[in-house]
Amino acid sequence: MVSTILIAICVPLLAFAIGLTFIMFKLKITARVQRRYGPPIIQPIYNLLKLLLKEDNISHGVIFSLGPIIALAGSILAVFFIPIPGLNLLTGSGDLIALLYIMAIGSLGMALGAGNTANPNASIGISRALTLMFGYDLPLVIIVISVILQYHTTNLADIVAAQANGHWTLWTLPLSAIVGFVVTYGALGEHPFDIITAPHEVATGPMVEYGGKHLGFLMINHMFHIYIEIALFVDLFLGGASNLFWFYIKMFGVFFIMMLCDEVFLRFKIDDAVRFFWKWPTVVALISLIIVLVK
Amino acid sequence: MEKMTQDQVRTIANMLRKRSLWMIHYCTGCGAMELPPTMTSRYDMSRLGLAPFVTSRQADILLITGYLNVKTLRRVITVYEQMLDPKYVIGFGSCALNGGVYWDSYAVIKQLDRYIPADLYIAGCMPRPEAIITAFQDLMDLIDSGKADGYKRYKRDLAYYKENQRKVLG
Amino acid sequence: MNMSLELLLATPFIGGLLTYIGGKVHRWVRNLIAVLFSLATVGEMAMYYNTTFKGVVWGSLFGSNLVLQTNPITWLFLFIVTAISLLVIVFSIDDMKKEEDEIVLDSYYMQLLFVEGAMVGIVLAGDLITFFMFWEIMSWTSYFLIVHGGKKSMAAGYKYIIMSVIGAYAMFIAIAMLYAKTHSLVYSDVALALSQASPSFIIWTVVLLSVGFFVKAAVMPLHTWLPDAHSEAPSPVSPLLSGVLIKMGAYGLFIVFYGLLSVNLAKNIMPSVFSTPILLYIIQWLAALSIVLATFLAIMQEDAKRLLAYSSVSQIGYVVLGLATGTSLGVAGGLFHALNHAIFKGLLFLAVGAVIYRTGTRNMSELGGLVKKMPFTFTALLLGIIALAGVPPLNGFVSKWMIYEALIQKKEVFLLIMAFVGSTGAFLYVYRLIHSLFLGQLPEKYENVKDVPILMQIPIWILALSTIVYGIFPGLAMDVIVKGMKLFGFTPIAYNLFGFPEGTAMGSLTVINIAAVLMTAFVAVFIIFILFPKTRQVSQYDNYASGQELTPDFKYNYSFGFYMSFGRVIKPILSMSIERVYNYWIDAFKIFGDYYMRRIYTGNLETYNSYIVIVVTIAAAAVLLGGKLW
Ligand code: SF4
């Protein structure tokens, strides 16, 4: 019992720590690609603590303050459903399909909070966020179904187990894995899919009125978000991992490639982003699905 | 005891604050031209933990980059009041200091800290990136020693500032 | 004991008549009678809940017995019908006060109770004649209810009744065909007769019956009446229409496919695709198309009730999709979704009705920021949209999960993709709804709006709490559903109070764990959150606008055309409309009809006189020849 509670406390902390290191590396990678020296490596910690310790915080209403809290609670919930090496806490209580919906709780919380600001930038940001979600959801669903059919189970722990000994989905279903990468990348909202927060158009979109500790909580939520998306990708396509070290290395590898992509792209228009997702990723994912069906 | 921990918290907080200063992109005059080189690869101000940010709620520093005409002043005050404490203001270039080349213009205010409290001024028309970075470092020292208290002054002397603002804005 | 079913059936009808009479005395007498009788119906329902009555004969017609019967599935639907009707009547008391004309109100309550009684009759029916009789009563009384909603509702109601009548004709032909064959229309006799009939006969009757049910269930392409009717009807009527009335179509489909026709029989007489009989497979596709297209349409709406109406088309798609899978898990999911949809769609319509009651508009771009003024309605609506979007741990999620799992088991991947897409699209329109009504900027004219009176709050909150209860304890509903499905020859699925253990589907689900962890995480985060420095409330005009000062007369809100950019993406799909096809045919008929009508009704007195002479001559000849014309 005690050990369960300890694990239950440790898992979110672990996810947070991994997300935090990713953000650290992100700033540094961006700087190096742009031939800058870049901020100190622990800059995100300074930023986060500074935000949390702001003396003054404003709120536009209860929902405004609850938004980041719901978002963070939803993210923590989702963390428990993703198998970590050696720890499958709640994978028996809900499967991959449940996870897809649990991951929406975070976005819902953020959308509610942002909506309460009465700021058009925030509303446009949310409108774009949901539209983009609708966009990448179609290929995402198709590849998830192809993975499910491949392993005849919707239980994530079983899917990970079935990929043991190097039988990664990446090798057996390469097309799905490629689409999975694109979709995960879109879900992270990096260039060219950073339409939601586009600072020059909608002034960081949903975050426009958030400052102080609220923004700090949203930053923490973002770290969780990075962890969830990439860990899910690693579990689905890179065979999970046998210990935490390899898990981290795999996740970092995926993240590193994504950050390099982030540097070279410009920004899509929102309808073009949706059209993009509904065109090539969808077609490729369908081909992969048909391969699984026929096999 | 209570006071001591509070002091300690404040010291730690100040230490963190000076290492993570977010400035709002709000360019009032031609001095803003010197900010892009300061931000980008050549001078790279992110080394000091500085980053440009978009909205008034997220930012810590307000840069008054040059001449401030009366029309803009109204917006600057709104932005300043929307920023969350602690917040710092840097007057940028001679125009903010004493009117500069616009010393006799009817449309430009002459002395910034009659309207909002400035923590620091950078002299020059326009100041070079080196000067800007030095100014940021000075601001950090001020924050560390607790002397960058413009936002407290604004609260304390609100009547004075409001009076001056009303005089020009009507 | 023996009279109990008749009593249950008669209570709403008697109540309706008494309500009308009571209205002549005083409006409070009328309201009291209406509430009491609907309460009595619920009470009777609760009293006999889950007892099985077999074939209570209550009359006979054309030599066929009129039978009432119950089984657990019946009780599930009776529960939906009576409970939602009661809540609707309670909600009406305050909401319909704005109606000046007391006589109109008298008949309004009477019709409400009649609709309830008709639906009870449909569910209790044990033979096709009873079924059809109450089906028609339901259609007509609900038509009268719809046209209470003002000028525009006349056209909407007209459309509704025309399509209902077409559906009813189709059903009637099928029933007549069956009668000609069996001379008894009791379900068991019909089932027996069908098992020996020729395949073409079976397919014709089933297709014709299904058309009738499709019209009522608003499955595409027969859905066009629903958005108009449900949005123009008075706000308390909409939940009844959307939550309950369209479920009668789903119930009819269930009876036809699993009561009259069994899956095994269907498999024998027609080819199968993905181990589904082809007829059911086609129905699945229609349902899936309903899901996706109606979702797209709902996203583009500007009218809150119209948005919900399109969402109903989409959600009933899930019900029909689940029912048409033919597997235990899928059918159970469909039935459960019928219950869940009644709960959350009732809730959403009532909550939107509450907003309309206070503000007088349902145009979403005129509203906003009401969360500060109507916090209770907001919370209830929030629960409703979470349930509709299918986010755990509320009820919409569990039934959708079951339907997905059933489709995965059958490898019907394309349907599954469509179902998934529809549910992601639901996020878009439910957020639009809550954002435009409750979030965003509060217009100045709604500064003095208050939350709705207690009598309107109670129904809303009962439904809101039900979304949580059925979400966390799906076993409560599964008890009834599984027991009932056993009677229809399905293998029972494994379940427990909190969800589904391993082995039921391809995964397992325990909702209470999800809810518990979510709550714990929420509380933990909340405590951490309040440890940090305090927050200060600012007004909605103290807002980032690039330094611009905002004033109340300035609309600083983004609520019109919320998904305009998405609209550009789906433009090619939106431009297709089945309604235009219908209108084309209507116009063609009009021209055709006009041409021949003018030949007969010339407007010339002499022509008419000659008609009379001809008719009289023929009649006289008939009498003279002793009734033997040929
Ligand atoms: S100080 Fe010089 S550079 Fe700066 S705003 Fe004034 S005139 Fe322009």
pLDDT tens track for A162-206: 887 777 888 888 888 889 888 888 888 888 888 888 777 778 888
| More confident position, C2 or C421 | C421
Q: C178-208 burial, b if ≥16 CB within 10 A, otherwise e?
A: bbeebebbbbbbbbebbeebeeeebbebbeb
Return the residue in B58, B62, B143 with the most chain A beta carbons within 10 A, the one to mutate for interface testing: B58
Q: Would B65 be classed as within a structural domain?
A: yes
The per-residue pLDDT for C66 is: 79
pLDDT digits (tens, 9 = 90+) for A104-143: 888 888 888 888 888 888 888 888 888 888 888 889 999 9
Q: Where residue C626 falls among pLDDT bands split at 50, 70, 90?
A: low
Rounded average pLDDT over A74-97: 80
**pLDDT tops 70 at residue C629:** no
Q: Which tokens sit at C516?
A: 């518990």
SS3 category, C64: strand
**C337's tokens:** 């979704």
Asked if C225 and C163 touch (Cβ cutoff 8 Å), the reply is yes
Per-residue pLDDT band for C49 (boundaries 50, 70, 90) equals confident
Residue B121 included in any domain? yes
pLDDT at B41 over 80: yes
Hey, is the C-beta of B76 within 8 angstroms of any chain C C-beta?
Answer: yes
Which residue has the CA at smallest separation from atom 3 of ligand 1?
B126
Chain C residues with CB-CB distance to B26 below 8 A: 547
Total domain count, chain B: 1
CATH number (domain holding residue B125): 3.40.50.12280
Q: Does B57 touch chain C (CB under 8 A)?
A: yes
Q: Reply yes or no on whether the pLDDT at C599 is more than 80.
A: no
B29 Cβ inside 6 Å of ligand 1? yes
Q: What is the average pLDDT score of chain C?
A: 82
Question: Is residue A228 within 8 Å of A82, Cβ to Cβ?
Answer: yes
SS3 assignment, position B104: coil
Q: Grade residue C627 by pLDDT with cuts at 50, 70 and 90.
A: low
Mean pLDDT of the C15-24 span: 81
User: How far from the centroid of its chain's Cα atoms is residue C367's Cα?
Assistant: 26
H/E stretch holding B63: strand B61-65
Residues in A touching C379 (Cβ below 8 Å):
none
How far B29 CA lies from chain C's nearest CA (Å)?
Answer: 15
Evaluate if residue B1 carries a pLDDT over 60: no
- CA–CA dist C448, C370 (Å, integer): 10
Ligand 1: centre distance to CA B69 (Å): 12
Place of tokens 């954002």: C435
Nearest to B58 among A35, A53, A211 (CB): A211
Indicate if the pLDDT at residue C593 is higher than 80. no
Location of structure tokens 């609260």: B155
Percent of chain C with pLDDT over 70: 96
State the Cα–Cα distance between residues B96 and B93, nearest whole angstrom: 6
Residue C1, pLDDT above cutoff 50: no
pLDDT at C628: 54
Boundaries of every domain in chain A: 2-294
AA letter at A67: G
Token pair, residue A74, equals: 């939803």
pLDDT band at residue C183 under the 50/70/90 scheme:
confident
Confidence (pLDDT) at C2: 59
Q: What is the pLDDT of residue C216?
A: 83
ipTM: 0.90
Strand C509-510 to C499-500 pairing? antiparallel
Half-sphere exposure of A98 (CA within 13 A, CB side): 35
Continuous segment of H or E residues that includes residue B60: none
> Whose CA is closest to atom 8 on ligand 1?
B30
Average confidence score pLDDT of chain A: 85
- High-pLDDT (> 90) share of chain A, %: 0
What are the angstrom distances between the C-alpha of C100 and each of C22, C27, C154?
17, 12, 19
CA distances for C115 relative to C112, C161, C250, angstroms: 5, 14, 17
Alpha helices (runs of H) in chain A, residue ranges in sequence order: 2-33, 43-52, 62-81, 96-115, 120-151, 156-162, 169-172, 174-188, 199-202, 212-237, 244-264, 270-294
Please tell me what DSSP assigns to residue C533.
Answer: P
Query: Is there a domain that residue B32 lies in?
Result: yes
Instruction: Kindly report the number of other CB atoms within 10 A of residue C32's CB atom.
Output: 14
Does A99 score more than 70 pLDDT?
A: yes
What span, in angstroms and rounded, lies between the C-alpha atoms of C292 and C314?
Answer: 7
A100 → chain C, closest CA residue: C391
Lowest mean pLDDT of A257-271, B116-130, C216-230, name the range: C216-230
- Whether pLDDT at A15 is above 60: yes
What residues have CB less than 8 Å from C623, skipping those under 6 apart?
A: none
Amino acid letter, residue C219:
V
Closest CA to C265 of C209, C158, C214, C193: C193
Q: Residue C505: what pLDDT?
A: 67
Inter-CA distances, C52 with A83, C30, C67, C70, C124, Å = 47, 34, 14, 5, 11
Query: Each residue of C253-297: pLDDT tens digit?
Result: 888 888 787 777 767 777 777 777 778 888 888 888 888 888 888
**B116 pocket-lining for ligand 1 (C-beta < 6 Å):** no
Tell me the residue range of the domain where B97 lies: 2-159
Tokens representing C246? 């369209």
> Is the previous residue joined to B129 through a cis bond, with omega within 30 degrees of 0?
no
Q: Measuring CA to CA, how many Å separate C245 from each of A148, C123, C162, C305, C433?
A: 37, 11, 17, 16, 23
A274 backbone dihedrals φ, ψ, rounded to 5°: -65, -45
Q: Which of B84, B136, B140, B154 to mutate to test the interface with A (most CBs of A within 10 A)?
A: B84
Q: Are A164 and A238 in contact (CB under 8 A)?
A: no
In chain C, the residue whose alpha carbon lies closest to the alpha carbon of B75 is: C547
What are the DSSP E strand ranges found in C51-146? Answer: 56-61, 64-68
Is it the case that residue C137 has pLDDT exceeding 50? yes
From chain C, pick out residues whose CB is under 8 angstroms from the CB of A142. 417
Pairwise CB contact (< 8 Å): A117 & C534: no
